Amino acid sequence: MSDLLARHRAVMPNWLALYYDEPIEIVSGKGNRVVDASGKSYLDFFAGILTNMIGYDVPEVREAVERQIATGVVHTSTVYLLRGQVELAEKIARLSGIPDAKVFFTNSGTEANETALLLATYARKSDQVLAMRQSYHGRSFGAVSVTSNRAWKNNSLSPLNVHFLHGADRHLTQFRGLSDGDYIAACVDDLRHVLSTAVSSDVAALIAEPIQGVGGFTMAPDGLFAAYKEVLDAEGILFVSDEVQTGWGRTGSAFFGIQNHGVTPDMMTFAKGLGNGFAVGGVVARGDLMDNLHAVGLATFGGNPISMAAANATLDYVLDHDLQANAARTGAVIIDGLREAAPRLPIVGDVRGKGLMFAVELVDPATGEPSPALATRFMEETRRSGLLAGKGGLKGNVLRMAPPLTLTLDEAAEGLGIIVGALETINAEVAS
């Protein structure tokens, strides 16, 4: 492995971060477990950054892809009819709840968000966009401009005029201790103030993650985006929900994250888990917005026959097996267990989540300050114990986990035991 790591460092950019003091190479997977090059098995609680949504080596997905490959057609492009694209678009349009919805497929969440920003700014003839503090929407020029996390922004240059809103930052002094209702009221007051002071008329859109991914699974209280949308609708401002991480039933309580707020957005972007590891992203939007562009457009690789075969099979599997309900059931086991353990673990600053999307925030117990060092220690301890987790948060001190939606109750209990055991070990080390 040291040879592969040396080769990686020689030819890959140094900003391409690797987990662990001794990075692992995953060589096989089955169900919700993977095996590294040394033969060690892990229960996967990060799923390739929420992408292997229904686990590994799923026969229904594998066979669908193999059937498509057997035709000899792995690519044609969007200048020809693609049956798989049409079939998947019909399902997504129906599930979205967006009136007269149409779908455009891309290769990634970044590209999907770029497309949504193009549709919104074109429709409103404005470069002004609202986004959320602590957000992350991708690594491209436009997506970085609506990202509000300095660790992920390479420069201040932007094709957009962006203003950032409150909504997932209740840790700030001015919001600490507020009830959900009072916090929502304060955020709406701030939105109205931004519209009165920081922008001119014709703001294009608000783009928001219902649960912030890279932000450490921070989230607005349910109902905030409904309150925001009342203000936006009065101004004609469009609303884009970034469902790249929250879609397809992961929150357990809704099929798309924004539905937890009782909101139907004008557009939703999606990617990651839909292809269960195959590259697929896209936008579902009101038909008038999607049809509005005057220039010719296409996607050379977006919605290709292989990714469409995988995505159709994955979405069918999610629906046929009611994995949204499974996410609610297994997620409750883990989140409730973490909350029960937290009071006796001073290093735990917060436990939060919905369904199979949950996080533990680690702090210095003496000061209460965020502790990225303890998060790094947790990663090593859970790796040693056979569980893969992820990191995030504005300060890098949040353990964020999102197992496949196929997680069983036994695996949920197993994973919970490993997490709590790691936290107990680290807590004891700090105490001593």
Question: Measured between alpha carbons, how far is 223 from 87 in angstroms, rounded to an integer?
Answer: 33
- Segment 185-198, tens digit of pLDDT: 999 999 999 999 99
Phi–psi pair at 423, nearest 5 degrees: -65, -40
Residue-wise pLDDT tens digits, 321-343: 999 999 999 999 999 999 999 99
Domains in the chain (CATH in brackets) are 2-57+322-431 (3.90.1150.10), 63-320 (3.40.640.10)
As a whole number of angstroms, the distance between CA 350 and CA 359 comes to 8
> Could you write out the DSSP letters of every residue in 210-226?
SEETTTTSEEPPTTHHH
Total residues belonging to the chain: 432
Q: Which of 139, 256, 142, 151 shows the shortest CA–CA distance to 209?
A: 256
Q: How confident is the model at residue 1 (pLDDT cuts 50, 70, 90)?
A: low
Rounded distance, CA 138 to CA 240, Å? 15
* Four-point Cα dihedral 325, 408, 417, 20, nearest 10: -100
What are 269-289's pLDDT values in tens digits? 999 999 999 999 999 999 999
For residue 181, is pLDDT > 80? yes
Beta pairing partners, 44: 388
Q: What is the pLDDT of residues 135-168, one digit of tens each?
A: 999 999 999 999 999 999 988 889 999 999 999 9
Question: Predicted confidence band at 2 (pLDDT cuts at 50, 70, 90)?
Answer: confident
Q: What is the pLDDT of residue 351?
A: 98
d(CA 432, CA 97): 54
Whole-number pLDDT of residue 155 = 86
Summarised one tens digit per residue, pLDDT across range 55-96 is 999 999 999 999 999 999 999 999 999 999 999 999 999 999
- What is the rounded distance in angstroms from the CA atom of residue 37 to the CA atom of residue 334? 29
- The model's pTM is 0.97
Cα angle at 149 between 145 and 152, to 5 degrees? 75
Q: What percent of the chain has pLDDT over 70?
A: 100
Residue type, 353: G
The 10s digit of each residue's pLDDT in 12-48 is: 999 998 999 999 999 999 999 999 999 999 999 999 9
Report residue 4's pLDDT band, with 50, 70 and 90 as the boundaries: very high
What are the tens digits of pLDDT across the range 216-259? 999 999 999 999 999 999 999 999 999 999 999 999 999 999 99
What is the model's pLDDT at position 156? 87
Structure confidence at residue 201 (pLDDT) = 87
Euclidean distance between CA atoms 277 and 86, whole angstroms: 20
**Residue in 93, 90, 91, 88 with CA at minimum distance from that of residue 68:** 88
| Other Cβ atoms closer than 10 A to 347 | 24
| DSSP character string of 32-65 | TEEEETTS-EEEESSHHHHT-TT-BS-HHHHHHH
Report the distance separating Cα 402 and Cα 132, nearest Å: 22
